[in-house]
A and B are shown apart, each in its own frame.
Chain A
Amino acid sequence: MPRRESLKNLQREKNLFAGRIVVGAIICVLMSGGLLFRLSELQIQGHDYYTTRANDNRLRVVPVPPVRGLIYDRSGVVLAENRPAFGLEITPEQVDDMPALLAQIGGLVPLTESDIQRFNDRVARTPRYRGVPLRTHLSMEEVALLEVNRHDLRGAEVTAGLTRNYPMSIEGAHVVGYVGGITEADLQRIDTDSYQGLGQIGKAGLERFYEDRLRGTPGARIIEANAFGRPLREIEHRPGQAGQNLHLTLDAEVQAVAQAALGELNGAVVAIDPRSGEIIALVSKPGYEPHHFVEGIDAASYRTLLEDRNRPLFNRALQGQYPPGSTIKPAMAVAGLEHTVVDPEHREFCPGSMQLPGSIRQFRCWRRRGHGWMDMVSGVMQSCDIYFYQLALNLGIDLMHDSMQQFGLGNVTGIDLPLESAGLMPSRAWKRRTRGESWYPGETLIVGIGQGYTLATPLQMAHMTARLAMRGEGFPPHLLRETVDPVTQQRVTLSPAALPPITLRNPEHWSAVIQAMVDTAHKPGGTALRIGQNAPYLIAAKTGTAQVASLSQEDKVARTLEDTPVRLRDHALLVAFAPADNPQIAVAVLAEHAGSGSAVAAPVARKVMDQYLLGEVQYESPPPVIAPYTGELRNASGVVP
């Protein structure tokens, strides 16, 4: 009985089991189908996406910073170069306890609060596997100390790189400029792709102006890295492109002579080759040490520089705006001759002062007792104000404005340096626009002697002189002569297009004015006699005086308080070119608070010209001193000796 039952059960069980096997097989096939469906999602639809992610996983692009172009003067003297420098980098990914590591490093080498602050800021913005600089410009002792303790400093690495060095130091700072760390503000305006791997950017001077040529193009190393970011092998090396080397028109020796010739004075010297517009020297004193910026200037030092009353960061040569004073008179004479309001023989009587009809206001000549009868030559030579008041009256403000603009006043020269000021050549339209007032006849007179609203930069004065020297021909002032590719040696020479010439109906008038300037430098009674003394070449020159009041608001305050007399003294000006019969150099000198252009500015210009034309300074004179002030303070009307 049990046996029959179990036999019956056996068949039933077999059928039941077979059914379950079929169900089990179906389940296996369905589940496998599910796996395959998911796999095809990943491997077919998701293939491109995951391929990208796999490459992202393993490939690291490490930028290779390009070598920055060098800067040379006209004879090959290096003005900006690259020097090896050591820094300390930390890769956050490899660090377990950052504060502890920083404390440990701080025990070995000096770390300032700002170092750490800057480091933390950059860590927040950088991928964790990238090294972030903590210190730059490590000394050899510091490098050794860090290397010895290397095993304790996991994640920290001493890196070798290049840093900018300026052999001319302070003397070149205002021309060459400097590079500095890329700031948040820089990031707003630059294409960050061009700066991969680079920490620095041109901040001032030529470094800033020619940033795009100097920088070069970064290269890249494509590196296969493992999951821990450790590089395993280089898959590709795309070389970057080194920056272009700049060869300047600047003459480092002339620059140094000009710098030295100013002595203790603050001021500016600009020397131009009038035949080409090439800048031979461009000095602004005082200067500053560019390396402080390269190494990352701290806030306190920067504030000290900004608040220095001598304004060392201010480039007087192209940013400083001064009344050109009497240096404008030769150009005014050209305008007067051209517009036939005078001819070379035309004479005016100088009694020492004059009045406009219907006005009681006195317009005085710098020489209180007057010059007597003056013609064009003696008017220039003795810088007679009355002669030029009359000339200005005859020309009128409109013709004066247009003529002086032809000489470059009131407009930027377009020099290849940043932040050039435009100066000001006033006109009726300008006054209406800015002051809402009409032009007064009295204002015309003082414009004729380079005062009143007239403002010019030392660069503009040198440029104006160069155009006089070239009898109306001229080129835009510029510092770059050619760029040379450091790899291919390919040269690109820059030859700026000539400016539209100033044409006179009677070209002889140029000779007349230039003769007047030569007399100024060489004939007894000339105001610039000091420059012409024993010169082996002919010099054409003109002195001038710039009033202090317009330098800055601060000085005006000082003036009303009358607390610092030296600071109220006029600035001495002198423009000159030489040789007068074959001009090769045009110079403008501004010496702040020096009082007399003749006593102080003339020797500076002469030394510059000696150096350039003769290769040495032959001129001997006592070192420039602040000459005793003989003039008088101007009254509020701004009439000037």
Chain B
Amino acid sequence: MALIDVGGQRGNPTLSDWFERWHIDSWLLSLLLILSGFGMLMLYSASGHDFGAVGAQARRLGLGFVLMIVVAQAPPEWYRSGAGWLYGGTVLMLVLVLVLGDSAKGAQRWLDLGVIRFQPSELMKLAMPLAIAAYLHQRTLPPQLGSMAVTLILIAVPTGLVMVQPDLGTSLLVVAAGGFALFFAGLRWRWIVGAVALVAAAAPLLWLRLHDYQRGRILTLFDPERDPLGAGYHITQSKIAIGSGGGFGKGWLEGTQAKLDFLPEANTDFIFAVIAEELGLIGVVLLLLIYLAIVARGLIIALRAQDTFQRLLAAALTLKFFVYVFINIGMVIGLLPVVGVPLPLVSYGGTSAVSLLVGFGMLMSIQTNRKLLAN
């Protein structure tokens, strides 16, 4: 900045000034642009050189980035005051989805608003941390029994609504988003340990409540050969793609597993397998480093945030983002059951990318407004 100032004309805004004026965090923006560009390159390969798909994805991401910057312009206080309304409205929409939602792949997830088909559960991934952070902001921390109970109810209601759609992946992320807010609010360790124990105890009950295909996926995870042509096929073919990529990969556009249709959903949930096949362990490590850099930037923003709401929101959104990455990669490499979670900003599909970028817009708002206040 200093160098630019010395050589530059007075009065002309530097790039840094420009970012500041528009409430843009240059670190996050750069990392997100690198990630999205990388994602489109891989999508081009995974879709079998389909410029149409890449173009559609570019338009969605463009919309996402614009929304991110728009969201970044509003001060964090606005989000805090609107959090309750957003939460309530989203819960209402989740109920509507169950009543009159569109069916896709045997699950009711979509709400047709005439103009766009819209997935309210996706919005809940944002509304949840907002609501929890806003609620806990008004309480003394670490949360006492009463506020903790309220928080758990706030988490449980939408989670339950998403689970009965049924959408196991999204409900996990919704729980994670809310739970992380609680965690960062300083939830006592004994409660955390107790909750884990409770979940472990409740697991058998939960097992009975699962749909057959969900159980199948979990069973198949531990033994993919159980159903090599059905549920196990995804995992088996995905592992073949990843393993055959080796250390250095087969080269961009040279993967065979996706190109020859062995790898199902190569564009969407399983695009990581394409990356691992074509770019190898080297490419995968680079991708993980980009993700971790984004997470690191998010945690730094959270750490510097100026009030409880902003801290909790920033940290919860960041951790939720990481959980996204972890669940997707974990399922593609056969560590976790196959649940429908995309690889953030890389998988083909608009809703999750837009909602993630809106979240990053909030992070930018938190970061840039702190600077203004500090100044």
- On chain A, the residues within 8 Å of B302 by CB distance are 17, 21
* Chain B residue with Cβ nearest A46: B243
Contact A42 B308 (CB under 8 A): no
Contact A227 B262 (CB under 8 A): yes
Find the residue from A17, A18, A226 having the highest chain B CB count within 10 A: A17
**Nearest chain A CB to B332 CB, angstrom units:** 10
- On chain A, the residues within 8 Å of B135 by CB distance are none
With the chains together, A32 CA to B327 CA distance in Å?
A: 11
- On chain A, the residues within 8 Å of B257 by CB distance are 54, 57
A305 is an interface residue with CB less than 8 A from chain B: no
- On chain A, the residues within 8 Å of B241 by CB distance are 50, 54
One of A22-30, A314-322, A447-455, A558-566 contacting the partner:
A22-30
Contact B184 A24 (CB under 8 A): yes
Given A38-B333, A39-B333, A57-B257: A47 in contact with B184 (beta carbons within 8 A): no
A519 is an interface residue with CB less than 8 A from chain B: no
Contact A28 B319 (CB under 8 A): yes
- On chain A, the residues within 8 Å of B308 by CB distance are 13, 17
With the chains together, A227 CA to B265 CA distance in Å?
A: 13
B329 is an interface residue with CB less than 8 A from chain A: yes
Contact with A along B307-351 (1 / 0, CB 8 A): 010010001001100100010011001110000000000000000
* Chain A residue with Cβ nearest B186: A16
Within 8 A of A (CB), among B117-141: 140-141
- On chain B, the residues within 8 Å of A39 by CB distance are 242, 276, 281, 284, 333
Given A17-B186, A227-B262: A53 in contact with B242 (beta carbons within 8 A): no
Contact with B along A26-51 (1 / 0, CB 8 A): 00110110111011101110110111
Contact B260 A224 (CB under 8 A): yes
B366 is an interface residue with CB less than 8 A from chain A: no
Within 8 A of A (CB), among B215-253: 237, 239-247
**Nearest chain B CB to A36 CB, angstrom units:** 7
- On chain A, the residues within 8 Å of B318 by CB distance are 24
Contact B261 A24 (CB under 8 A): no
A440 is an interface residue with CB less than 8 A from chain B: no
Q: How large is the interface on A (under 10, 10 to 19, 20 to 34, 35 or more residues)?
A: 35 or more
With the chains together, A393 CA to B256 CA distance in Å?
A: 87
Contact B319 A24 (CB under 8 A): yes
Contact A47 B262 (CB under 8 A): no
Contact A35 B288 (CB under 8 A): yes
**Nearest chain B CB to A187 CB, angstrom units:** 28
Contact B261 A54 (CB under 8 A): no
A9 is an interface residue with CB less than 8 A from chain B: yes
With the chains together, A20 CA to B183 CA distance in Å?
A: 7
- On chain A, the residues within 8 Å of B334 by CB distance are 38
Contact B243 A47 (CB under 8 A): yes
Contact A32 B247 (CB under 8 A): no
With the chains together, A21 CA to B319 CA distance in Å?
A: 10
- On chain A, the residues within 8 Å of B63 by CB distance are none
- On chain B, the residues within 8 Å of A44 by CB distance are 246-247, 281
**Nearest chain A CB to B121 CB, angstrom units:** 24
Find the residue from B243, B262, B296, B319 having the highest chain A CB count within 10 A: B243
**Nearest chain B CB to A48 CB, angstrom units:** 9
Selected contact of B141 from candidates A9, A28, A38, A58, CB within 8 Å: A9
- On chain A, the residues within 8 Å of B237 by CB distance are 57, 227
- On chain B, the residues within 8 Å of A227 by CB distance are 237, 260-262
With the chains together, A38 CA to B184 CA distance in Å?
A: 29
Selected contact of B246 from candidates A25, A31, A43, CB within 8 Å: A43
Selected contact of A47 from candidates B141, B244, B285, B292, CB within 8 Å: B244
B84 is an interface residue with CB less than 8 A from chain A: no
Given A13-B186, A43-B246, A54-B256: A32 in contact with B288 (beta carbons within 8 A): yes
With the chains together, A225 CA to B281 CA distance in Å?
A: 26
Contact with A along B166-200 (1 / 0, CB 8 A): 00000000000000100111100000000000000
* Chain A residue with Cβ nearest B296: A25
B75 is an interface residue with CB less than 8 A from chain A: no
Contact B335 A42 (CB under 8 A): no
Contact B184 A50 (CB under 8 A): no
With the chains together, A49 CA to B243 CA distance in Å?
A: 8
B363 is an interface residue with CB less than 8 A from chain A: no
B111 is an interface residue with CB less than 8 A from chain A: no
* Chain B residue with Cβ nearest A43: B281
With the chains together, A43 CA to B239 CA distance in Å?
A: 9
* Chain A residue with Cβ nearest B140: A9
* Interface of chain B: mostly helix, strand, loop or mixed: helix
B142 is an interface residue with CB less than 8 A from chain A: yes
- On chain A, the residues within 8 Å of B260 by CB distance are 57-58, 224-227, 232
With the chains together, A21 CA to B322 CA distance in Å?
A: 13
- On chain A, the residues within 8 Å of B276 by CB distance are 39, 42-43
**Nearest chain B CB to A41 CB, angstrom units:** 9
B280 is an interface residue with CB less than 8 A from chain A: yes
With the chains together, A43 CA to B279 CA distance in Å?
A: 11
**Nearest chain B CB to A46 CB, angstrom units:** 4
- On chain A, the residues within 8 Å of B311 by CB distance are 17
- On chain B, the residues within 8 Å of A42 by CB distance are 239, 242-243, 276, 333
With the chains together, A483 CA to B257 CA distance in Å?
A: 48
With the chains together, A17 CA to B330 CA distance in Å?
A: 28
Contact B245 A43 (CB under 8 A): yes
With the chains together, A224 CA to B259 CA distance in Å?
A: 11
Selected contact of A50 from candidates B240, B284, B291, B292, CB within 8 Å: B240
Contact with B along A214-252 (1 / 0, CB 8 A): 000000000011111000100000000000000000000
With the chains together, A16 CA to B237 CA distance in Å?
A: 45
* Chain B residue with Cβ nearest A232: B260
Contact B322 A28 (CB under 8 A): yes
Given A28-B322, A228-B261: A13 in contact with B141 (beta carbons within 8 A): yes
B210 is an interface residue with CB less than 8 A from chain A: no
- On chain A, the residues within 8 Å of B28 by CB distance are none
Contact A53 B244 (CB under 8 A): yes
- On chain B, the residues within 8 Å of A24 by CB distance are 180, 183-184, 299, 315, 318-319
Find the residue from B183, B247, B256, B315 having the highest chain A CB count within 10 A: B256
Within 8 A of B (CB), among A31-89: 31-32, 34-36, 38-40, 42-44, 46-47, 49-51, 53-54, 57-58
Contact A47 B240 (CB under 8 A): no
Within 8 A of B (CB), among A416-454: none
With the chains together, A24 CA to B302 CA distance in Å?
A: 12
**Nearest chain A CB to B112 CB, angstrom units:** 33
With the chains together, A53 CA to B299 CA distance in Å?
A: 41
- On chain A, the residues within 8 Å of B280 by CB distance are 43
Selected contact of A43 from candidates B186, B247, B262, CB within 8 Å: B247
Contact B315 A43 (CB under 8 A): no
**Nearest chain B CB to A8 CB, angstrom units:** 10
Given A17-B184, A57-B262, A224-B260: A38 in contact with B335 (beta carbons within 8 A): yes
Contact A50 B243 (CB under 8 A): yes
**Nearest chain B CB to A208 CB, angstrom units:** 43
B364 is an interface residue with CB less than 8 A from chain A: no
Find the residue from A9, A29, A39, A232 having the highest chain B CB count within 10 A: A39
Given A24-B319, A42-B242, A51-B246: A16 in contact with B261 (beta carbons within 8 A): no
**Nearest chain A CB to B270 CB, angstrom units:** 13
With the chains together, A53 CA to B235 CA distance in Å?
A: 13
B303 is an interface residue with CB less than 8 A from chain A: yes
Given A21-B302, A226-B262: A53 in contact with B141 (beta carbons within 8 A): no
Cross-chain pairs A/B with CB under 8 angstroms, 15 sampled: A16-B186, A20-B183, A20-B184, A24-B315, A32-B288, A38-B333, A43-B280, A47-B245, A47-B247, A50-B239, A50-B242, A50-B244, A54-B240, A58-B256, A227-B261
Q: Which residues of B line the A interface, CB within 8 A? A: 140-142, 180, 183-186, 237, 239-247, 256-257, 260-262, 276, 280-281, 284-285, 288, 291-292, 295-296, 299, 302-303, 308, 311, 315, 318-319, 322, 326, 329-330, 333-335
| 8 tightest A-B CB contacts, nearest first | A50-B243, A54-B244, A227-B261, A47-B246, A46-B243, A16-B186, A226-B260, A42-B243
- Given contact pairs A21-B302, A25-B299, A35-B288, enumerate 7 new A-B contacts (beta carbons under 8 Å): A21-B184, A39-B242, A39-B276, A50-B239, A50-B243, A54-B240, A228-B261
